[in-house]
Amino acid sequence: MTTIRIDSVSRWFGNVVAVNDVTMAIGPGVTGLLGPNGAGKSTLINMMAGFLSPSTGAVTLDGVRIWRNEQVYKQIGLVPEREAMYDFLTGREFVLANAELHGLGADAARKALATVEMEYAQNRRISTYSKGMRQRVKMASALVHEPDVLLLDEPFNGMDPRQRMHLMDLLRQMGAAGRTVLFSSHILEEVEQLAAHIEVIVAGRHAASGDFRKIRRLMTDRPHHYAVRSSDDRALASALIADPSTAGLELDRRDGILHIQAVDFARFTELLPRVARDHGIRLYEVSPSDESLESVFSYLVAA
């Protein structure tokens, strides 16, 4: 049972605060680290992987400090986001070198390459690999010593759906086997499919923590904004405001747009078409006006 503990950790670069007073524990099983780009996910992973010192607070692996302690790598496997590898090596040479650096041999390398299904291209130079192939060889290099903890920074970037499914299966198996698997992603669906437990990080702060149902509910229960064009905006507005699922309406007469703020997502999406039909109003356009991931996440911070 291996647990990474992040305790009151902040990290700043000059005047920029990348991670702001985060406390969390990553235990056995698969955990998804979710957040928009630039939220501080990589900064957190780099600290967990021993490649960045926390400005304040402590990052430990079963109580042992990770920073400046190379012995932790006996237990940690890291799949970095960056593409750069030893491109002049073949996949097999690269994974073998990683095994040797752990004091292991060709058997471990062969096994790791088989796990990621890269045997077929193992004798090609890495410089000829596609992004998905690189990702898998990176994965093999991290698995070669069968680590208790696996840290993956945006592992699904650049993978095709089949490779994605394969990697998800692999991570699920590792989680089920009691290993501690943490991966970061900015895509909710990705995290939801794989992780029972989700940590959400937004603008350097720990925004939410829990299972994906709780996070999903938080995300769908937030106020939604819609821009609607219809054959009679005013009549539509007066009919909608009577229902508790709407919190605010604004009629933009110059552009002919009705702005709606809905507080009950499920109810509103059912209400709008029904009201329009009952009143004989034609809906020309219904578009969510505030669906950027950043706004979804920033709502979570406030929640």
Q: Which is nearer to other proteins, 97 or 196 (CB)?
A: 97
Q: Find tokens 């690269």 and name the residue.
A: 94
Least gap, CB of 161 to other proteins (angstroms): 25
Least gap, CB of 39 to other proteins (angstroms): 8
Neighbours of 213 (CB within 10 A): 11
Q: Would you tell me which residues interact with other proteins (CB under 8 A)?
A: 13, 18, 37-43, 45-46, 49-53, 67-68, 70-74, 76-78, 80-82, 84-86, 88-89, 94, 97-98, 100-103, 141-142, 153
Q: Which is nearer to other proteins, 186 or 222 (CB)?
A: 186
Residue at 24: amino acid letter: M
Q: Which is nearer to other proteins, 142 or 228 (CB)?
A: 142
Least gap, CB of 143 to other proteins (angstroms): 12
Q: Which is nearer to other proteins, 15 or 71 (CB)?
A: 71
C-alpha–C-alpha distance, residues 142 and 297, integer Å: 31
**Of how many residues is the chain composed?**
303
Least gap, CB of 179 to other proteins (angstroms): 16
Q: Which is nearer to other proteins, 28 or 40 (CB)?
A: 40
Q: Which is nearer to other proteins, 102 or 172 (CB)?
A: 102
Least gap, CB of 73 to other proteins (angstroms): 5
DSSP string, 200-232: EEETTEEEEEEEHHHHHHHHHSS-EEEEEEES-
Please name the residues in contact with 3: beta carbons below 8 A apart, sequence gap of 6 or more: 25, 26, 27, 28, 61, 62, 180
**Strands, E assignment, the chain:** 4-13, 16-26, 29-34, 56-61, 64-65, 76-79, 149-152, 180-185, 197-202, 205-211, 224-230, 246-252, 257-262, 283-288
The answer to whether 30 and 197 are in contact (CB under 8 A) is: yes
How do strand 16-26 and strand 4-13 relate by DSSP bridges? antiparallel
Token pair listed for 133: 């192939």
Q: Which is nearer to other proteins, 157 or 295 (CB)?
A: 157
Q: Which is nearer to other proteins, 155 or 272 (CB)?
A: 155
Least gap, CB of 15 to other proteins (angstroms): 15
Q: Find tokens 């904004």 and name the residue.
A: 225
Residue at 108: amino acid letter: A
Least gap, CB of 97 to other proteins (angstroms): 5
Token pair listed for 224: 């939604």
From the list 173, 154, 150, the residue with the least C-alpha distance to 33 is: 154
Least gap, CB of 196 to other proteins (angstroms): 26
